[in-house]
């Protein structure tokens, strides 16, 4: 097997502000795994908030590649040979794609999942002034669900701005670990009154134990606090949802296993993503078919439309072509 890897930059159409900073684009790492006849591809987006970057991810993939080339590792043994993070994600997804191309079967068939058609997905509004928030919300009347980023200077005013133009649309908020317990307990009842159905990652992961004192006015979703199955036990009774992202799980293999384990433990399921092209969205689409909340709206915000890959019509994701992946 031949393994090749490269880094490239994906730019956003507009800068996007979240609680930990403003993003205008990010480096992604692409992997190709080929056996001389078929080629499988995968992509990951290493994030600094998890102590990862593209150059270190390239080096990590290149270090493990000889074991894949020699046949000493395959997709399943890769799970214990590498930690659950971005490098393994790119390799894992490339190996899923390669298996599909070799066998002539779809990834859906290999995974034992039904192939859905269109999947309802949200649209995200970043942190901005309330007036700008209302202006953006007014363009999203056809959306199926809104995710609003909070952790700025005017959180409640931004929620009110969305509700002023979209009074009935399903709405949840994402704090990206930007609050304290005191702020969460103060904000949650107000958000409940505004019809917010979920708060994503209100506190830093190291403060999860403080959620034992949360007033539970709104359901919570673990994002930064949930990477793979090893995290689930400590999330019980603190979070209601888990957000499955393949760059956190280390690929589709663990992503599907996490979904099964989380659901068995009573968690509700959400799927999200880092920045990426359609090559990253396609395997996440598979997880989306299992989830109640789908947050895969990156195709709407990348600058180069060729990067979108998976079509998002502002309300739904359309199933990706097999030429792209799987």
Residues 293 and 177 in one domain: yes
Instruction: Look at residue 19 in the predicted model and tell me its pLDDT.
Output: 87
pLDDT digits (tens, 9 = 90+) for 175-198: 999 999 999 999 999 999 999 999
Dump the DSSP string for 279-318.
HHHHHHHHHHTT-SEE---GGGTBSSGGGT-S-B-SSEEP
Residue 95 has pLDDT above 90, yes or no: yes
Cα separation, 82 vs 102, in Å, equals 24
Are 276 and 45 in contact by the 8 Å Cβ rule? The answer is yes
Residues 92 and 218 in one domain: no
pLDDT digits (tens, 9 = 90+) for 206-237: 999 999 999 999 999 999 999 999 999 999 99
Instruction: Look at residue 168 in the predicted model and tell me its pLDDT.
Output: 97
- pTM of this structure: 0.96
Residues 72 and 133 in one domain: no
Instruction: Look at residue 36 in the predicted model and tell me its pLDDT.
Output: 84
Residues 129 and 231 in one domain: yes
Residues 40 and 160 in one domain: no
Residues 18 and 152 in one domain: no
Residue 145 has pLDDT above 90, yes or no: yes
- pLDDT band at 56; cut points 50, 70, 90: very high
Region 110-130: mean pLDDT is: 93
Strand 219-222 vs strand 241-244: parallel, antiparallel, or unpaired? parallel
- pLDDT band at 52; cut points 50, 70, 90: very high
Structural domain contains residue 133: yes
Cα separation, 96 vs 94, in Å, equals 5
Region 273-301: mean pLDDT is: 96
Structural domain contains residue 113: no
Structural domain contains residue 109: no
Cα separation, 148 vs 174, in Å, equals 6
Task: Give the structural domain span for 309.
Answer: 119-317
Known catalytic residues are 149, 245
Residues 246 and 142 in one domain: yes
pLDDT digits (tens, 9 = 90+) for 231-284: 999 999 999 999 999 999 999 999 999 999 999 999 999 999 999 999 999 999
Residues 96 and 241 in one domain: no
What is the average pLDDT value for the chain, to the nearest integer?
A: 96
List the one residue out of 281, 285, 297 whose CA is nearest residue 256: 285
Cα separation, 134 vs 255, in Å, equals 35
Region 8-34: mean pLDDT is: 95
């Amino acid at each position: 097997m031949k393994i090749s890897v490269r880094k490239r930059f994906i730019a956003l159409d507009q800068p996007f502000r979240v609680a930990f900073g403003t993003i205008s684009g990010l480096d992604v790492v692409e992997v190709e795994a080929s056996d001389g006849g078929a080629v499988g591809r995968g992509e990951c987006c290493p994030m600094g908030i998890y102590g990862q970057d593209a150059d270190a991810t390239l080096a990590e993939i290149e270090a493990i590649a000889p074991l894949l080339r020699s046949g000493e590792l395959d997709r399943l043994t890769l799970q214990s040979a590498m930690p659950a993070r971005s490098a393994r994600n790119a390799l894992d997804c490339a190996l899923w794609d390669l298996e599909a191309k070799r066998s002539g079967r779809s990834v859906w068939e290999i995974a034992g999942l039904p192939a859905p058609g269109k999947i309802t997905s949200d649209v995200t509004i970043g942190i901005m002034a309330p007036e700008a928030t209302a202006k953006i919300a007014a363009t999203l009347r056809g959306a199926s669900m809104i995710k609003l980023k909070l952790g700025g200077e005017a959180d409640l005013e931004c929620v009110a701005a969305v509700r002023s133009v979209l009074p009935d649309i399903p709405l949840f908020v994402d704090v990206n670990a930007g609050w304290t317990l005191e702020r969460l307990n103060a904000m949650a009842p107000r958000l409940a009154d505004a019809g917010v159905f979920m708060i994503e990652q209100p506190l830093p992961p190291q403060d999860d134990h403080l959620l034992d004192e949360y007033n539970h006015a709104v359901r919570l979703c673990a994002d930064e606090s949930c990477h793979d199955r090893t995290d689930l036990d400590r999330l019980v009774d603190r979070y209601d949802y888990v957000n499955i992202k393949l760059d956190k799980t280390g690929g589709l293999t663990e992503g599907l296993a996490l979904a099964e384990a989380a659901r068995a433990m009573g968690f509700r399921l959400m799927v999200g993503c880092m920045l990426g092209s359609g090559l990253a969205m396609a395997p996440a689409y598979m997880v989306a078919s299992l989830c109640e909340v789908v947050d895969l709206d990156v195709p709407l915000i990348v600058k180069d439309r060729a990067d979108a890959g998976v079509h998002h019509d502002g309300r739904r994701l359309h199933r990706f072509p097999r030429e792209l992946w799987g």
